[in-house]
């Protein structure tokens, strides 16, 4: 892995390492594939997720221009999809507009500062941090909270992101924790701390808010340290053999290793 030792670790790679160290090794060792990696628009769930994320990023800029902040006007700030492949997105946008409209009403009903609490202070924020091996990633949105601290918002459109499941919460704590460590250590927002995360899932029509625990952040640091140690000292990357292996692009060379051993 000599050629990629200094490539930064992004959140996607970090989560890959947590799931299967061997998959991460293949991915990270291919310098070209790693640096040029992007999600394929040919895969319907990924394409729809990208459309949804882009629309949500533009949404708040458009809402600011509204004189009358009704649900109907909120919905007009989101696309109307006519492509038959992606009509499902209209249901997602209906839900998202309704959720944000209701959130705005709650802020106003509680006589809180609408401008301060409703609009994200960042959307699609790129973060990075110098480290033994640098870290980086993209955050969907960051909101102010009434207590003066901050909340990370993640848009998740897959059915697997059901925060009623303990394993899904554990996974989300790792994903968000990766960002939180960068933001807090670099003091991106001064003395303000990221204390909560929120997941909005338009497929399941649910929103979850969770407090970030110090235990989750320590687990992120432990995983990062383990990953870096294996990269720098050419350690053994462990395979996690599951039914999901059949979907992994590295399945054949991975299994061939055992056959040729």
Closest by CA position to 210, among listed 200, 195, 221: 195
pTM recorded for the entire structure: 0.90
- The residues facing 152 across adjacent strands are 142, 197
pLDDT surpassing 60 at residue 145: yes
- For residue 33, being part of any structural domain is answered with yes
How far apart (Å, rounded) are the C-alpha atoms in residues 245 and 253? 12
How far apart (Å, rounded) are the C-alpha atoms in residues 234 and 7? 15
- For residue 62, being part of any structural domain is answered with yes
**Full residue range of the structural domain in which residue 88 is found:** 2-232
pLDDT at 31: 81
- The residues facing 200 across adjacent strands are 155, 207
Q: Convert the pLDDT of each residue in 101-116 to its tens digit.
A: 999 999 999 999 999 9
The secondary structure of 160-209 as a DSSP string is T--TTSHHHHHHHHHHHHHHHHHHHHHTTTTT--EEEEEEEETTTTEEEE
- For residue 27, being part of any structural domain is answered with yes
Q: Convert the pLDDT of each residue in 3-62 to its tens digit.
A: 345 799 999 999 999 999 999 999 998 887 787 766 555 688 889 999 999 999 999 999
Helix (H, G, I), strand (E, B) or coil at 234: coil
pLDDT surpassing 80 at residue 258: no
How far apart (Å, rounded) are the C-alpha atoms in residues 37 and 13? 11
- For residue 251, being part of any structural domain is answered with no
Q: Convert the pLDDT of each residue in 49-93 to its tens digit.
A: 999 999 999 999 999 999 999 999 999 999 999 999 999 999 999
Q: Which residues contact 22 (CB under 8 A, 6 or more apart)?
A: 237, 238, 239, 240, 250, 254
pLDDT surpassing 70 at residue 226: yes
- For residue 257, being part of any structural domain is answered with no
Confidence of residue 118 (pLDDT cuts 50, 70, 90): very high
Helix (H, G, I), strand (E, B) or coil at 126: strand
- For residue 82, being part of any structural domain is answered with yes
pLDDT surpassing 80 at residue 96: yes
Average pLDDT over residues 169-176: 96
- Say which CATH number the domain at 132 has: 3.90.320
Contact at 8 Å (CB) between 200 and 96?
yes
- For residue 170, being part of any structural domain is answered with yes
Count up the domains in the chain and report the number: 1
Closest by CA position to 19, among listed 246, 238, 186, 257: 238
Contact at 8 Å (CB) between 69 and 51?
no
Q: Convert the pLDDT of each residue in 174-215 to its tens digit.
A: 999 999 999 989 999 998 999 999 999 999 999 999 999 999
- For residue 259, being part of any structural domain is answered with no
């Amino acid at each position: 892995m000599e050629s990629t030792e200094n490539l930064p670790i992004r959140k996607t790679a970090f989560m890959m390492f947590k799931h299967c160290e061997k998959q991460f090794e293949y991915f990270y060792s291919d310098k070209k594939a790693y640096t040029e990696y992007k999600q394929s628009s040919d895969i319907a769930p990924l394409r729809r997720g990208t459309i949804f994320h882009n629309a949500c990023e533009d949404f708040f800029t458009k809402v600011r221009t509204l004189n009358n902040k009704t649900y109907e006007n909120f919905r007009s700030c989101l696309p109307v999809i006519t492509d038959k492949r992606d009509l499902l997105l209209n249901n997602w946008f209906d839900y998202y507009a309704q959720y944000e409209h209701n959130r705005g009403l709650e802020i106003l009903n509680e006589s809180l500062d609408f401008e301060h609490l409703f609009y994200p202070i960042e959307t699609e924020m790129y973060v990075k941090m110098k480290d033994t091996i640098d870290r980086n990633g993209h955050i969907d949105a960051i909101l102010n909270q009434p207590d003066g601290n901050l909340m990370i918002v993640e848009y998740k459109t897959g059915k697997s992101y059901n925060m009623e499941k303990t394993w899904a919460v554990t996974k989300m704590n790792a994903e968000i924790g990766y960002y939180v460590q960068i933001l807090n250590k670099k003091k991106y927002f001064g003395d303000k701390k990221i204390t909560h995360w929120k997941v909005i899932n338009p497929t399941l029509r649910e929103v979850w808010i969770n407090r970030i625990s110090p235990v989750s952040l320590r687990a992120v640091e432990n995983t990062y340290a383990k990953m870096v140690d294996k990269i720098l000292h050419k350690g053994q990357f462990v395979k996690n053999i599951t039914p999901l292996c059949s979907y992994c692009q590295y399945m054949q060379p991975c299994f061939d290793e055992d056959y040729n051993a």
